[in-house]
Structure 1
Amino acid sequence: MSEKLKTIKELADELGTNKTRISRIINKNSIPTQKIKNKIVLEDNSVSLIRHYFKNETQQQNETQQQNETQQQNETQQQYKTQQQNETQQQYETQQQYKTQQQNETVSILRTELDKAHSHIEKLSNLLDQQQRLALQDKKLLEEYKAEINDLKALKMPSQDTKEEQANSQPQEELETLKEQIRALNDKIKGQEQLNNQVSKKWYQFWK
């Protein structure tokens, strides 16, 4: 083959492609060819044109491929960012739900403790009220007992001028009765004082 002429295969081998692509470039751009001995050959001008179109086409393909790769990378990055945002949002919502749950549980516990405290205060108030009423009753009883004792003492201890006269005139049985009443009242006073002491101890231990 002449140096100025190249077959499609020779040019394809030179450009590192196949005959089909070279034929497509020729047909697409209407590049002139010759036919010698049933072979299609290309002159230098045609070869130069094919090289030019091949170079441009290859460059466009590379640019398109780069654009596609860049777009794919951007889409992948965007998908990754979106996924990260979704995961972050989900984590935030989960944390918020957990915090809300913890706060609700804390509020519930505090309300329970507050109800217990109110109930305890109410019981203490009732006990204090009962203690005050008992103290007033005890005081009243003690005063009554002391008044009775004073009355009995007044009956038992007459004036010095009439002591011998009353002793002679008062029956021995009445004296014994008065003595028994005095002892009974003293026992009541001691019993009431012991009861007061026990109640005071219980109240002290309760508040302690």
Structure 2
Amino acid sequence: MSENLKTIRELADELGVSKNKIHYQVSKISSEYVVRNNSMKLLTAEAVKQIKENLGIELNSSLNSKLNTVKHQENTNIKGNTGVEGVELNSTLNSYLNSLKHQIEYLESQNINKDEQIKSLVEAQKQTQNLLDQQQRLALQDKKLLEEYKEEIKELKSLEVPLSDKNEMDLINDREQIERLKAEVVFFKKELSKIAEQHEVKRHSKKWWHFFGDN
């Protein structure tokens, strides 16, 4: 067999997993990385690389178990086997050590990416909360101002003296200002509703990443 191509059995033995698991991983990668020789599937170096990356987390515990088995076999073979067998065993051990190193590097890169994403979500949540606080303060101020204008209008209506033209104009202006304030209050309520929805989406996203990190 070409040293650049591997059978499914060879890769399964190398990684210490079942052939069915390798078959499943082969079905997930592009067929251009798989060479067919009659009814046999041969895996290119790129196919092997992708399968190892896809199996990254699962392989970690499997490789540790396999590595312990190889070390035990090495200790046994040193006592009773020939020098040639010892060289072959060392070659196998080196292969597993290299594979384990690759998986560790892969897992470390994944952890870095998750940490950066979590940090971004936390920062976005802080900014959203600050914006919500500002909008709530503005809404309270507008509500207070609106109440003050209502009280002034009530006082004007309670006066028994006929209103002059100037007072009538002031009243009209006051009413227009009240309507404008009402419109602003409605606008701020809509903005607060949008911000609350965005905050809820961010909060769920953070929970999802937290769940992803635990796994």
TM-score by length of 1: 0.51
In the TM superposition, residue 198 of structure 1 has moved relative to its aligned partner by: 2.0
Gaps spanning 5+ residues in structure 2: where?
Answer: 1-80, 199-215
Q: 2:185 aligns with which of 171, 196, 206?
A: 196
In the TM superposition, residue 112 of structure 1 has moved relative to its aligned partner by: 0.8
In the TM superposition, residue 126 of structure 1 has moved relative to its aligned partner by: 0.4
User: In 1, distance between residues paired with 2:94 and 2:185?
Assistant: 68
User: In 1, distance between residues paired with 2:178 and 2:115?
Assistant: 48
For residues 65-113 of structure 1, the C-alpha deviation after alignment (integer angstroms, 9 at most, x for no partner) is xxxxxxxxxxxx7343223222222222222212211221111111111
Corresponding residue for residue 170 of structure 2: 181
Question: One-letter code of the match for 1:137?
Answer: Q
| Matches for 1:68-87 after TM superposition, within 5 Å | 78-87=82-91
Note if 1:122 corresponds to 2:126.
Answer: yes
- Identity rate of aligned residues, in percent? 26
Question: One-letter code of the match for 1:122?
Answer: K
Change (3 A) 1:132 1:83: same
Question: One-letter code of the match for 1:83?
Answer: V
Aligned residues: 117
In the TM superposition, residue 149 of structure 1 has moved relative to its aligned partner by: 1.0
Q: 1:91 aligns with which of 90, 95, 109?
A: 95
User: In 1, distance between residues paired with 2:92 and 2:182?
Assistant: 75
In the TM superposition, residue 191 of structure 1 has moved relative to its aligned partner by: 1.1
- Which structure carries more relative contact order (alpha carbon 8 Å, separation 6+)? 2
User: In 1, distance between residues paired with 2:127 and 2:94?
Assistant: 49
In the TM superposition, residue 203 of structure 1 has moved relative to its aligned partner by: 3.0
User: In 1, distance between residues paired with 2:175 and 2:94?
Assistant: 83
**Secondary structure at 2:164 match in 1:** helix
Q: 1:102 aligns with which of 100, 106, 111?
A: 106
| Matches for 1:101-180 after TM superposition, within 5 Å | 101-155=105-159, 158=160, 166-167=161-162, 175-180=164-169
Question: One-letter code of the match for 1:147?
Answer: E
User: In 2, distance between residues paired with 1:181 and 1:196?
Assistant: 22
Question: One-letter code of the match for 2:194?
Answer: Q
Question: One-letter code of the match for 1:86?
Answer: N
User: In 1, distance between residues paired with 2:83 and 2:178?
Assistant: 94
In the TM superposition, residue 193 of structure 1 has moved relative to its aligned partner by: 1.7
TM-score by length of 2: 0.49
In our comparison, the structure showing a higher alpha carbon Rg is 1
User: In 1, distance between residues paired with 2:143 and 2:96?
Assistant: 68
Gaps spanning 5+ residues in structure 1: where?
Answer: 1-76, 159-165, 168-173
Corresponding residue for residue 57 of structure 2: none
User: In 2, distance between residues paired with 1:200 and 1:86?
Assistant: 71
In the TM superposition, residue 183 of structure 1 has moved relative to its aligned partner by: 1.3
Comparing 198-207 with 89-98, which one deviates more in the overlay? 198-207
Question: One-letter code of the match for 1:92?
Answer: Y
User: In 1, distance between residues paired with 2:143 and 2:136?
Assistant: 10
